[in-house]
Amino acid sequence: MNELNANDIADSTATEVVRKKPSAWVEILFLSLFAAAVAAGWRFWADWLSVRDQSFFTFCMIVGLCVAMVRSSREGEVTAMRLWIGSGFYAISAIALALSFGSGSAIASVFALGFAILGWGLIRFAGESPQHAIGLGLVCLLPLAISNLVSTEWLDWLESTAVAFTSRLADTFGMSHVREESRILFEKGIADRFSCQGSWDSVIAFLGIALACILGFRRNFIPAIATLLGTVAIWIALRGCVWVTLVYLGSQNETWVAWSPGLELVALGLGALFIVNWDGFWGSIFEPIPFEYINADFPLVAFLWNWFCSLPKLAVRVPHRETDFGPTEEDF
């Protein structure tokens, strides 16, 4: 970089990547590992998919991954990583699978599945940074993370927060109610327990939509985090608003209101609309500044912004020009 003169504009991290194309064995090995992992973790997957919102979450995840793959393959032919690194993940998957068969652990089988997909993604995903490809692969471990979260107090906390939000909203609109742990009793109706799981409008279903957006639109780390956190916020707000509206309508006709599957689907649809827009909004905001708009003499701020927006990709392209403070025309 030091060799460039003041009039040259250069890329800070311009490196040409040339990698081998994967053979058919990669697919065969992947499919074998995939089938074995699914067979080993059959009980886990049966349990997981038996719940409506969790199966919806899985569906969203698969759709997202497929879209991400199709889109990434359009952007280039260079695979994300060298073949041997992907094979390394296959090896880890095989070890996890062996552990699963040996100990009967469903968790190990889910890990095996995750690492198999991760390895496959690293070899197959073209036009992606290695970090991004790892991120996409790790998504496959999310069911395991969520199934662990369900058994913790996290969902209770979330329910409590949702109830608190609804209570405050009802207060603002002058609706009489009383809160009983995770239930709200309204004057003309009772809000059932705020369900974080199990229904169409659960937070898990909402997170599934968010995941489909993140994968499908191939969001970077920061917009992805903004979308996931925003999804939880949307779920809380939507549940509260729908309840307050329902109770308001119910009190007008002096009838009791009740949550129904139809209402769940409406809430899910509304939630999807909000999530897509929320994701689009932050995706647009956190776009890197294009190369041609960056001041080549003082690229620091643009560099930091682009680095921040491009996470988990660490290498960022910014133009720069060496400033030469040599003798000026006046010196002659």
Among 176, 192, 245, 269, binds other proteins (CB under 8 A): 176
Query: Which is nearest to 46 in space by CA: 132, 110, 121, 123?
Result: 110
Give Cβ neighbours of residue 250 (< 8 Å, ≥ 6 apart): 186, 188, 189, 256, 257
Query: DSSP string covering 42-56, please?
Result: HHHHHHHHHSHHHHH
CA angle in degrees (0–180, nearest 5) for 309-312-317: 60
Q: Which residue has the tokens 């609309």?
A: 273
Among 8, 27, 75, 171, binds other proteins (CB under 8 A): 171
- Minimum distance of other proteins from residue 82's CB (angstroms): 14
1 SS3 class = coil
**Residue 303 contacts other proteins per CB under 8 A:** yes
**Residue 300 contacts other proteins per CB under 8 A:** yes
- Minimum distance of other proteins from residue 201's CB (angstroms): 16
Q: Which helix (H) or strand (E) holds 185?
A: strand 183-186
152 or 253, CB closer to other proteins?
253
Task: DSSP letter for 77, please.
Answer: S
Contact track, other proteins, 268-297, x by CB under 8 A: -----xx--xx-xx--xx-x-xx--xxx-x
- Minimum distance of other proteins from residue 205's CB (angstroms): 18
Query: Which is nearest to 111 in space by CA: 215, 58, 33?
Result: 33
56 or 165, CB closer to other proteins?
165
- Minimum distance of other proteins from residue 157's CB (angstroms): 17
**Residue 151 contacts other proteins per CB under 8 A:** no
Handedness of CA 29, 34, 37, 40 (dihedral sign): negative
69 or 294, CB closer to other proteins?
294
Q: Write out the residues near other proteins by the rule CB under 8 A.
A: 1-2, 12-13, 15, 165, 168-169, 171-174, 176-179, 185, 187, 230, 233-234, 237, 240-241, 273-274, 277-278, 280-281, 284-285, 287, 289-290, 293-295, 297-303, 305, 320
